[in-house]
Amino acid sequence: MNEGGARIIEFFGLPGSGKSYLARELVDFLRLSGVPTSEPMSSLGPHASKVERAFGKASRATTEIVRSAAARNMAWRVGTGSSQRDARDRIARPLNLLVARNVTQRARLFGGVHVIDQGLLNEWWSAAIRGDEESVLSTLADDAATSPLPDLLVRVDAPAEVIADRLEQRTTSQSRLENQSRPNLLEELSRGTRLFDKIEYCLQAVLERRGVLVLRVNTMDPLAIKTIAAVAST
């Protein structure tokens, strides 16, 4: 596990695919194996208060804007040039991308394994699915060359019907996919899957050049956690 250095694992996939579940299982597995492991996004997740999340996001986004001209350019292009659907998205999408960049950047400073259940790729996906897809993917292609990246990207899959069942059973709204009719939901899941395929294709050359491994797992696979841990240790 890169003893003495940082190892960053980022999960990405559709809402309801099981990213957070697998991330928690991986954290528990690694800790039980004696590997120092952190969850850098935990203080910004749904279990934190609204005040804690707002302050944490604002602080991280501001730090990234001050630190990086590339981050400022990326945020400007996503916020003003990607035709986000409403005013809230024109703020939220670049803000969340700045936060994800900063979390990944900071994790690199500390030893051990850092598990991110929803990071940069999911935020790029959210920006693309809410705005002009081609504009967002163009910005992503430019930004990826200098953006902080994890060591391992884990794409989480699950059958569409299983994801739809999970989303329909949620008691809180965590994405734009909840509260839709089953036919509309399945259509959106299909569109979302195609968009992740495009994002992977867009990033393929950069990921190879920068040595980022990509692994695809299914939440229905009982060996998923052991597979992720084995790949992460290479």
Q: pLDDT tens across 62-78, in order?
A: 999 999 999 999 999 99
CA-nearest of 201, 142, 131, 185 to 14 is 185
Report the C-alpha gap between 186 and 180 in whole angstroms.
9
Q: What is the pLDDT of residue 1?
A: 43
pLDDT at residue 43, rounded to an integer: 86
Residues with Cβ within 8 Å of 171's Cβ and at least 6 positions away in sequence, in order, are none
- The mean pLDDT of 131-145, rounded to a whole number, is 96
Of the CA atoms within 13 Å of residue 34, those in its CB half-sphere come to 1
pTM equals: 0.93
Q: Which is nearest to 7 in space by CA: 30, 32, 33?
A: 30
Across the range 99-114, mean pLDDT stands at 96
Q: Is the pLDDT at 160 greater than 80, yes or no?
A: yes
DSSP letters, 45-87, are STTS-HHHHHHHHHHHHHHHHHH-HHHHHHHHHHHHHS--SSH
Mean per-residue pLDDT, 98-123: 96
| Mean of pLDDT values over 133-158 | 96
pLDDT above 70 (res 224): yes
Looking at CATH, the fold of the domain delimited by 6-232 is given as Rossmann fold (3.40.50)
User: With pLDDT > 90 as the criterion, what percentage of the chain qualifies?
Assistant: 84
Q: What is the mean pLDDT of residues 197-224?
A: 97
The Cα 94–Cα 31 span in angstroms is: 33
User: Averaged over 79-106, what is the pLDDT?
Assistant: 95
Greatest extent of the chain over all pairs of C-alpha atoms, in Å: 50
Please say whether the beta carbons of 164 and 189 come within 8 A.
yes
Which pLDDT value is given to residue 110? Answer: 94
Instruction: Work out the pLDDT band at 179, boundaries 50, 70, 90.
Output: confident
Three-state secondary-structure class, residue 124:
helix
Whether the pLDDT of residue 181 is over 90: the answer is no
pLDDT at 174: 61
Which stretch of 3-12, 121-130, 145-154, 201-210 has the lowest confidence by average pLDDT? 3-12
